[in-house]
Amino acid sequence: MEIKNVTIVGSGQMGHGIAEVFALSNYHVFLEDAFEDALKKAQKSIETSMEKLVKSGKLKEENRSAILSNIKYSSNLEESVKGSDLIIEAVPEIMDLKKDLLSKISEYARPDAIIGTNTSNFRITDLSKSVKNPERFVGLHFFNPPVLLKLVEVIKGESTSGKVFDEAFALMGKIGKTAIRVFKDSPGFVVNRINAPESLLFCIILDKKIASPEAVDRFAKSQGLPMGPYELMDYVGIDTVIHSLEYYAEALSPEYGKCKAFKQKFDAKELGMKSGKGFYVWENGKAKIPDVPPTDKLDLLDVLAVEINEAAKVVEEEIALPEDIETGVKLGMNRPFGPVSVAQGLTSAEIRKKLDQIHERFGAELFAPATSIKEGKLRELFSKKEFQKAAKEKPQTQPSANSIAGSTTGKVSLEKKGKVSIITIQNQRLNLIDAQVLQELERTVDEIADDRETLAVIIRGNGGIFSAGAELSQFFNGSKDFMEFSRKGQKVFKKIQESPKIYIAQIEGYALGGGFELSLSCDMRFSTEDALIGFPEVQRGILPGWSGTQRLARLIGISRAEYMILSSERITGKQAAEYGLVSKVFPKNTIGDETLQFATKFCEETAPISAYLSKISVNRGYDGSIDEGLWIEALSMGVLFSTDDIKEGVSAFIQKRKPEFQGK
């Protein structure tokens, strides 16, 4: 069924935010609420939000009126839902309230309409008992604020049909969201389920008077997290945290009922930002956090080990796949890394030891190691790509990664146009290079190396940005891990330099740090005039660690290389061409076409073996003495003399025709 008309029931912060998201994607939306005052407040909030989007340049002024007209406001439930293709319930997290409302919605809705719930915790299966035809009922958990946060958890209840589950998942992509699949219904689903034992941990810290909220929050921010745990709970609402813990105590484990400190705040009506005071006093939407030293009673790995443990349980219970857990935690909790990537830098033994310590210190069975951690099988668990049951239901929306003609592995995509292969880095807005990008890039480079048809390769970034550098906010468990991250980048970039294919970097926007180093490993660099190129590393306390200190000096000389590295000055593509860093400069609106045209012509007119040996001669000769370089050059000539391509090239030249090289 094609979804065109959507009804959101409940006009609170989540409800009106979800309505705005659908309206921005040109869906016709009914926003329903039994209270007229709530609807007026919601309409004003949506209009204010639209104004902010216009001012920020995310929405054109001429489109605002049309988008606002997509939303109709109503306090008549029956009229609001009867013609809709999708109805989403978004009322407060009260089980009886939701059940009563869902019963009425399913009474008024068309029999084929999909009914969704924006519950953040309640099992979809429990709520589905109030819905007629529960196979059409699905969980759609948006995150707050819905207009800004990309994540949506799509949850399959026990009765939800596979077709509805797939349709709901696909729809989230159409409205610009990043959806993750929750295959098995469980309280808290993925993000809140993983966050739940953390909430208990931070409550016990206060109950045992181990550290103050402000000291813990200062510690969290010192570790690079955007918000401390207590500040975040204040922002969300301590009442929300309490209700969640009470539900988890009933549905998951009675240990969630141990928390005392949060209950005291709740009883005192100190609920956080919504009441003006919680753990902190709030003014103008900001918490006034006392300036105290970070606590030394807590280690970042304490928190991360608890997350890893719960993530392991989520995979063991076949609730969600590791990749979706990682995406969910990063986007849902606004974090640079999730538990799966953190676990990659640790052994099961290290995690088990830490969990045993936490278990003993805080006295909660929830912190005891999961089965896979006890058995030393965590790495195997987190490498899962599918569940037996889920695999049958999971639609194949991407081309096969084995097909070089068009494969997408997540953050690196590959397409082929004749003899030219195009690698695109697509890691959010700035195309930062993290461990996953390096892994996928290496796999793609290896795949291309084995493809006899490809002669030239273009590396570019998605969205008009080559790459703004390495993702340094990912988790590193000490100096050794950071060193290995450096060695990994060096290894991948060396594969590009030594590849039998000719690599061209198509530089647009930013080519900074690790992105600049990636371009330096290529054989040629094409750039727009206004691209910004440079090494900001020393201003961040590091250095260009993916071969930049070595490659740059070889290209432009020691003096100029040291200046670029030590000053962190950014130069334009035009300046880079003057330095000899960039081979060609093109206008911004034509660089893609010009680069592809050059690569295509190069493939048509160049003998593959000749190109490869020329590349080797230049690179190897430059690294050694001139005598060594001359020997490599002479040996290459000897090899070429025995090829079919030299005969074809000479014959074509004499006959004044275009050569047809076979790479033989």
**Which pLDDT tens digit goes with each residue over 135-194?**
999 999 999 889 999 999 999 999 999 999 999 999 999 999 999 999 999 999 999 999
pLDDT score for 632: 67
Could you tell me the two tokens for 58? 């995310």
Residue with the two structure tokens 């077709």: 163
Whether residue 438 is predicted with pLDDT greater than 70 in this model: the reply is yes
Decide if pLDDT at 267 tops 80. yes
pLDDT at 399: 35
**Catalytic hit among 517, 562, 569, 660:** 517
Q: Report the pLDDT value the prediction gives residue 384, as an integer from 0 to 100.
A: 87
Backbone dihedral angles phi then psi of residue 505, each to the nearest 5 degrees: -90, 125
Report whether 78 contacts 4 (CB < 8 A). Answer: no
Among 158, 415, 537, 648, the one annotated catalytic:
537
Mean pLDDT computed over every residue of the chain: 88
**Cβ–Cβ < 8 Å for 65, 50:** no
- H or E stretch covering 493: helix 479-498
CA distance 106 to 113: 9
Strand ranges (DSSP E) for 114-208? Answer: 114-117, 137-142, 151-155, 178-182
Structure confidence at residue 401 (pLDDT): 34
Q: Which amino acid is at 472?
A: L
| Residue-by-residue DSSP string for 373-395 | HHTT-HHHHTT----HHHHHHS-
The verdict on whether omega for the bond into residue 145 sits within 30 degrees of 0, i.e. cis, is yes
Q: Could you give the domains of the chain?
A: 5-182 (3.40.50.720), 188-397 (1.10.1040.50), 406-588 (3.90.226.10), 606-655 (1.10.12.10)
Query: Rounded CA gap, 73 and 104, in Å?
Result: 18
Give alpha helix (H) positions in 317-434. Answer: 322-332, 339-344, 348-362, 371-374, 378-381, 388-393
How far apart CA 549 and CA 383 sit, in angstroms, is 35
Q: Give me Rg for the CA atoms of the chain.
A: 29
| Euclidean distance between CA atoms 208 and 272, whole angstroms | 22
For the cut 50, the answer to whether the pLDDT of residue 73 exceeds it is yes
Other Cβ atoms within 10 Å of 103 Cβ, number: 13
Can you tell me the mean pLDDT for 260-289? 93
Q: Quick check: is 440 catalytic?
A: no
pLDDT band at 275; cut points 50, 70, 90: very high
Q: Please tell me the predicted confidence (pLDDT) of residue 389.
A: 57
pLDDT above 70 for 404:
no
- What confidence tier does 408 reach under pLDDT thresholds 50, 70, 90? very low
Nearest-angstrom CA–CA distance, 498 and 475 = 30
Is residue 517 part of the annotated active site? The answer reads yes
Q: What is the mean pLDDT of residues 545-561?
A: 89
Residue 8 has pLDDT above 90, yes or no: yes
